[in-house]
Amino acid sequence: MASLHTSFLNFSLSSFVLLLLSCSWYKVSWAHDGETVEIAVHSLLPETNCIPSSKGFDNHPSGKLQLVDVNGPCSPLETTPSLEEILHQDQLRVRSIHSMINKHVRDSKAKIPTRFGLPFKTKNYVVNIGVGTPNQNLWVTMDTGSSLSWILCKTCPNCRGLPFSPSQSSSYSNIACGSADCSQAYSATHHSPACRDACIYQTQYADSDYSVGFFARETLRLTPSDVFPGFKLGCGHDVKLRDSTSGILGLGSHPASLVYQTATKFGKVFSYCLPSSTNSNGFLAFGNQTGSTSPAVRYIRLILNPQNPDLYYVPLNGISLNGRRLAIPASTFSAHGTVIDSGTIVSYLPPSAYIILRNAFRAAMSGYPSATPPRGGVYDTCYDLSRNRTVTIPSIKLNFGGGIDLLLDQYSGVITNVGSYKFCLAFSANDDEEETTIIGSIQQKTYEVIYDVPRGRLGFRSVGATCN
């Protein structure tokens, strides 16, 4: 019978998966549409040893940088935030995004102690860049949710990042006050630049960190063959930054962003692959070598909003679980839009959509013991798998219409480890039904995500667990 054949096939595939997992570190990161895969629980636990990249920074091909999880064992930075701190930062970022979109802090529920237009900080993924002449190497945060790039130019209390020294660079120059370039600092940060002789930028974050300094031109080195003289960036002299990075690399769609400033060479095309496990590295790539012409890439519309040029919107219209589309009206997502973001960790849905997804997920996971969610209010659906050798995780797809669906990786894109053998559904609910949906970094893992800005499209290419 067909059902017997299917059961036998599923058993054989599961056995093969478990055999691979027991024999090596390799992780299988695929699932048939609508089917589930039995996974060894130990393979879901975070790794503690780094698997170094086979290529050093100076050997990377043109336009391609190594991307590192700032909180993983491969990170070169000294950072040990608690889970509660990480989730708190994630919530601050989400609320800042919503504040920017809504153009005002709607009420006390938003809990953002500042004005509209507040930039949002992320500490998730870092790349190494070179700045100045001679070159000074700095680790900076990659951020698709902001456009102004800035670097630390002076040591500061609580700052642990390596500062850039403009006095040691022959190519550094401040931008003149009142110039067209200076006005870009305002439109990119939503703060009027202070002016005397030189242009001064300022940006403030939801956690009370801030960066103030000169808006300047300096030589930027992405790789040895990708050098950009006269790149506009902030040089922070009055900075409060409670992490180990040396600044922000802004990849938004504003003219001040790296994407636009390097358009002559890279054509406003870039991509990234986020490492699916903390002990491996991903990449950030620029230009046509991203794989944008590959037949393996599936494209959806990329929507730019002139009112919010730092953000990239996509046409999400549904969610499926185990091959069945959930009863969520497409208007739930289209009414207020969906943003794809590299800096938000989990995906945030309208409350009505989240409840439907959560209830369906709980029903599919009813055979596993529940666990108390971690503090912070992000997760509410968690499981204790300490007594399970294997777990069958439901498949989840994000539906974008036109036959384009994104099947989330069942190892890294559906649930997340929150300590020991405790795992939680990697989605959360917005505070309000009218807030924008955000697709976070967890759901993007095992894919190269390609931003083709001139053609108005966003591509997904399955690359597996190792970002190949």
- pLDDT computed for residue 106 by the predictor: 42
- pLDDT computed for residue 122 by the predictor: 52
In which band, very low, low, confident or very high, does the pLDDT at 299 lie, cut at 50, 70 and 90? very high
For 436-465, the pLDDT digits (tens) are: 999 999 999 999 999 999 999 999 999 887
Six token digits for residue 89: 């930062």
For 192-239, the pLDDT digits (tens) are: 767 878 999 988 766 567 889 999 999 999 999 999 999 999 999 888
Say which residues have a Cβ less than 8 Å from residue 317's Cβ, sequence separation at least 6.
330, 333, 334, 399, 400, 401
pTM greater than 0.75: yes
Between 415 and 38, the more confident residue is: 415
Average pLDDT score over residue span 320-343: 95
Residue 243 has pLDDT above 80, yes or no: no
- pLDDT computed for residue 260 by the predictor: 96
Query: Known catalytic residue: 243?
Result: no
Residue 136 has pLDDT above 90, yes or no: yes
106-115, 169-178, 243-252: segment of lowest average pLDDT:
106-115
CA distance 12 to 34: 18
Residue 326 burial class via C-beta count within 10 angstroms: exposed 0-12, middle 13-18, buried 19 and up: middle
Q: Is the peptide bond before 454 cis (omega within 30 degrees of 0)?
A: no
Percent of the chain with pLDDT over 70: 82
In which band, very low, low, confident or very high, does the pLDDT at 21 lie, cut at 50, 70 and 90? very low
Task: Please state the φ and ψ torsions of residue 107, each to the nearest 5 degrees.
Answer: -165, -175
Six token digits for residue 392: 């069958």
Q: List, in order of start, the domains of the chain with CATH numbers.
A: 57-285 (2.40.70.10), 295-462 (2.40.70.10)
Say which residues have a Cβ less than 8 Å from residue 167's Cβ, sequence separation at least 6.
none
Percent of the chain with pLDDT over 90: 54
- pLDDT computed for residue 111 by the predictor: 36
Average pLDDT score over residue span 272-285: 87
CA distance 114 to 203: 12
The answer to whether the beta carbons of residues 40 and 26 sit under 8 Å apart is: no
In which band, very low, low, confident or very high, does the pLDDT at 70 lie, cut at 50, 70 and 90? confident
The answer to whether the beta carbons of residues 445 and 413 sit under 8 Å apart is: yes
Per-chain mean pLDDT for the chain: 83
- pLDDT computed for residue 23 by the predictor: 35
- pLDDT computed for residue 379 by the predictor: 96
- pLDDT computed for residue 107 by the predictor: 36
The answer to whether the beta carbons of residues 336 and 435 sit under 8 Å apart is: yes
Residue 121 has pLDDT above 90, yes or no: no
Residue 120 burial class via C-beta count within 10 angstroms: exposed 0-12, middle 13-18, buried 19 and up: buried
- pLDDT computed for residue 103 by the predictor: 55
Residue 405 has pLDDT above 50, yes or no: yes
CA distance 211 to 203: 5
Choose from 79-83, 109-113, 353-357 the range with maximum mean pLDDT: 353-357
Catalytic position from the list 69, 143, 207, 405: 143
2-11, 35-44, 439-448: segment of lowest average pLDDT:
2-11
Report the number of secondary-structure helices (H) and strands (E) in the chain: 7, 31
Residue 381 has pLDDT above 90, yes or no: yes
Average pLDDT score over residue span 357-366: 98
Average pLDDT score over residue span 177-185: 90
Average pLDDT score over residue span 71-93: 80
The answer to whether the beta carbons of residues 84 and 379 sit under 8 Å apart is: no
Other CB atoms within 10 A of residue 279 CB:
17
Q: How far is CA 95 from its chain centroid?
A: 16
Between 234 and 74, the more confident residue is: 234
Other CB atoms within 10 A of residue 432 CB:
16
Query: Known catalytic residue: 384?
Result: no
- pLDDT computed for residue 59 by the predictor: 53
Task: Please state the φ and ψ torsions of residue 419, each to the nearest 5 degrees.
Answer: 130, 130
In which band, very low, low, confident or very high, does the pLDDT at 292 lie, cut at 50, 70 and 90? low
In which band, very low, low, confident or very high, does the pLDDT at 62 lie, cut at 50, 70 and 90? confident
Residue 115 has pLDDT above 70, yes or no: no
SS3 23: helix
Task: Tell me which amino acid residue 8 is.
Answer: F
Between 29 and 444, the more confident residue is: 444
Residue 332 has pLDDT above 90, yes or no: yes
- pLDDT computed for residue 189 by the predictor: 79
Task: Tell me whether strands 347-349 and 427-429 are parallel, antiparallel or unpaired.
Answer: parallel
Catalytic position from the list 69, 310, 341, 409: 341
Helices (H), 322-440: 331-334, 351-364
